[in-house]
Amino acid sequence: MNYCRLCNGMPAENRACSICMGALKDQGKIYDFYGDYSPYMEIDLNKLVDGDPKSTQKPECVHMFICEACGTQQELKIFYGS
């Protein structure tokens, strides 16, 4: 079974901001920001409305990160592990 390490509370490698190289902090799945009920929906259902027609076929979960130094928001793809 494939799963997102970050969604399941497992440690991930440190990520750096592409602007200032500061530390990025995970804010959760990008799908959680779509609407009031989206955090409670299955990821594959949210992928149907994300604008990428092939996203349901990709083994990835998109997360929102924020730089702790400059405040820049960045979306990063987290590939599923098993």
- pLDDT score for 59: 87
Residue 11: which residues within 8 A CB-CB, separation 6 or more? 5
d(CA 61, CA 31): 9
- Residue 73 contacts residue 26 (beta carbons within 8 Å): no
pLDDT tens per residue, range 52-74: 888 778 888 899 999 999 999 99
pLDDT tens per residue, range 1-40: 678 889 888 887 899 999 999 999 999 988 888 888 877 7
Q: What does the block give as tokens for 73? A: 């928001």
d(CA 55, CA 25): 24
